[in-house]
Structure 1
Amino acid sequence: MAGEPVQISVDQLRRALDVALRHIEASAGPTVTLKEDLFWSVSAEELYDAYRRLDLAWEAWPMTEDRTMADERDRQPH
């Protein structure tokens, strides 16, 4: 699969982000306090530098999708 474009539907991304945001809200409440005013800024030239890459989307997506599905199952009434 390496070298092929990764295609993920917007609906799948929305569901995964919703899981993450619900987790943040459950642990931090409705407001998040940023203790540091820092963030990573990556230039366009460095964006896809293979030596700086932390992970590959096609390798990481199945795990993200599994976590999303598990969260959705947990939220179903029993």
Structure 2
Amino acid sequence: MPRYFFDVRAGGPEFDDTGTELSGPDDARQKAKRLLPDIARENIPEEGDHHTFAVMVKDENGHPVYSATLTFAGLRLPR
């Protein structure tokens, strides 16, 4: 089974050195789509109302196969 690596940017870059065995690029895409909301939920900064979270999925040869971003944007409204 091929191995895919999920490099995440949620403030600073975090590189996946272990990877995950998945059946193919479609499964890697689905995993990335589930991963981003979890990362955002845990990493939305207390200060500031704008943040972008990103994941780059690479195959065993280091070739990118999928990229996704999720943007948090908050706006404080007057009373």
- Normalization by structure 1: what TM-score? 0.30
Bigger share in strand: 2
Higher relative contact order (CA 8 A, sep 6+): 1
- Normalization by structure 2: what TM-score? 0.30
Bigger share in helix: 1
Select the structure of larger CA radius of gyration. Answer: 1
